[in-house]
Amino acid sequence: MRLTCVDSFSGAGGLSLGLQEAGFEVLLSFDIEPKCIETINNNKKYFSHPALCEDIRNMLGGRLLNEIGLKQGELFLLAGGPPCQGFSVQRIGEDVDSRNDLVLQYGSLIDEVRPMFFVMENVSGIQGKRGKTILSELISNMEAIGYVVHKQLVNAEDYGVPQRRKRIILVGERRDIGSEYTFPELTGERRTVRETIGFLPEPPEDGTSHPEYPLHRRDRLSDKNIKRLMALQQGQGRDHLPSELLADCHRIDSAIIGHRNVYGRMSWDDVAPTITARFDSFTRGMFGHPEQLRSISLCEGALLQTFPIDFMFSGSKVEIARQIGNAVPPKLAKIIGESIIEYYLRKEVRDFVLSGNH
């Protein structure tokens, strides 16, 4: 049995990296963002499969099956994380977001391809008022075409990822395959910020890249933000700033307006906060270095997301931060992938024994 896989909404390839390490043969990745596809294509050390810059709508109508040379029902795993910004609890604005429809488009692709298994990853906010109707519709649609859908809220820190990162994971299995998949047990491994990035030297003061680590460079901070960092200890955020260093919008108590962890420092001996698409900005979260007067570098963010240190990202600083922050941590992807393979192989052995053909 070939453990074939397609990574849809692939981003920079975090999911592909982990699934490959778990034992999957990735046949194809696709994403609508050109820089994400450029990143995958530039990492020949890690990827040898084709990657297409395509909207999911262009992969419907038989296109995906043609690209991978398989018939309906033959693909082992279809994986992907449709864009989640529309469901994010941090987003401000209308509840309706055109990106949310991509979850149902993903369902249409599953319907066409009929893989043995599918995986979908999304923010926990998809269970809130902005997403629960769409999530419920997707699950109902998948059940109607013959899948058993398993859903779980997973925190990446419980699986050795050095970061608090809560995500909804769906694993669907075709009923002719089975119905008893269970999510992996917690590993008990806890990896800290210090263990993950503590070995890195301080980046150059002039904002240039470190000669040994190209993405390890410091962001330019205003004098006021430097004073804010100087006023903070590890693990502290805006609630610990003196009043004269508070932004005007933060003079209302964080218990009322939230955002208590903006302008914050990470702690060496704790996990990092969720690495978001704007982790490159000290003003956007607890992204200050535990000791130094700077926000964490792109290199440090990628390591906290469990990318290999020599993984290369394409694009501007903002584009790279977005690719890193939006990725599925490869380590989490590996553990989910392994759990699917182990479940399938265990079931195959059991069915073989029960059939009396041994």
Model pLDDT for residues 264-309, shown as the tens digit of each residue? 999 999 999 999 999 998 888 999 999 999 999 999 999 999 999 9
Kindly indicate the confidence band of residue 338, based on its pLDDT and cuts at 50, 70 and 90.
very high
Q: What is the dihedral of CA 107, 112, 115, 117, to 10 degrees?
A: 10
Kindly indicate the confidence band of residue 128, based on its pLDDT and cuts at 50, 70 and 90.
confident
Average pLDDT over every residue of 204-222: 94
What local confidence, expressed as pLDDT, does residue 257 receive? Answer: 40
Question: Which of 155-169, 236-250, 272-286 is predicted least confidently?
Answer: 236-250
Q: Do 47 and 6 form a contact (C-beta atoms < 8 A)?
A: no
Q: Considering 53, 84, 249, 299, which one is annotated as catalytic?
A: 84
Residue 194, classified by CB atoms within 10 Å of its CB into exposed (0-12), middle (13-18) or buried (19+), is middle
Closest CA to 325 of 270, 268, 288, 287: 287
Span 4-187+329-355: which CATH code?
A: 3.40.50.150
Kindly indicate the confidence band of residue 231, based on its pLDDT and cuts at 50, 70 and 90.
very high
Residue-range domain boundaries for the chain:
4-187+329-355
The single-letter code of the amino acid at 17 is L
pLDDT value at 355 more than 90: no
What local confidence, expressed as pLDDT, does residue 185 receive? Answer: 95
Q: Give the separation between CA 342 and CA 274, rounded to whole angstroms.
A: 29
What local confidence, expressed as pLDDT, does residue 85 receive? Answer: 56
Q: Where are any strands of DSSP class E within the chain?
A: 4-8, 25-31, 51-53, 77-80, 117-123, 147-155, 166-174
What local confidence, expressed as pLDDT, does residue 350 receive? Answer: 81
Cα four-point dihedral sign 121, 125, 128, 129: negative
pLDDT value at 92 more than 60: no
Q: Between the CA of residue 255 and those of 165, 232, 285, 292, what are the distances in Å?
A: 22, 19, 16, 28
What local confidence, expressed as pLDDT, does residue 228 receive? Answer: 94
Residue 169: how many other CB atoms lie within 10 Å: 18
pLDDT value at 89 more than 60: no
List all residues 6 or more positions away from 174 whose beta carbon is below 8 Å from its beta carbon. 114, 115, 116, 117, 146, 147
Pairing, β 4-8 against β 25-31: parallel
pLDDT value at 258 more than 90: no
Query: Helices in 23-121 by DSSP H: which ranges?
Result: 34-42, 63-68, 101-113
Question: Which of 53-67, 96-110, 267-281 is predicted least confidently?
Answer: 96-110
Is residue 84 annotated as a catalytic residue, yes or no?
Answer: yes
What local confidence, expressed as pLDDT, does residue 333 receive? Answer: 98
Q: Give the separation between CA 166 and CA 169, rounded to whole angstroms.
A: 10
What local confidence, expressed as pLDDT, does residue 352 receive? Answer: 72
pLDDT value at 254 more than 70: no
Task: Supply the mean pLDDT for the chain.
Answer: 91
Q: Name the percent of the chain lying above pLDDT 90.
A: 79
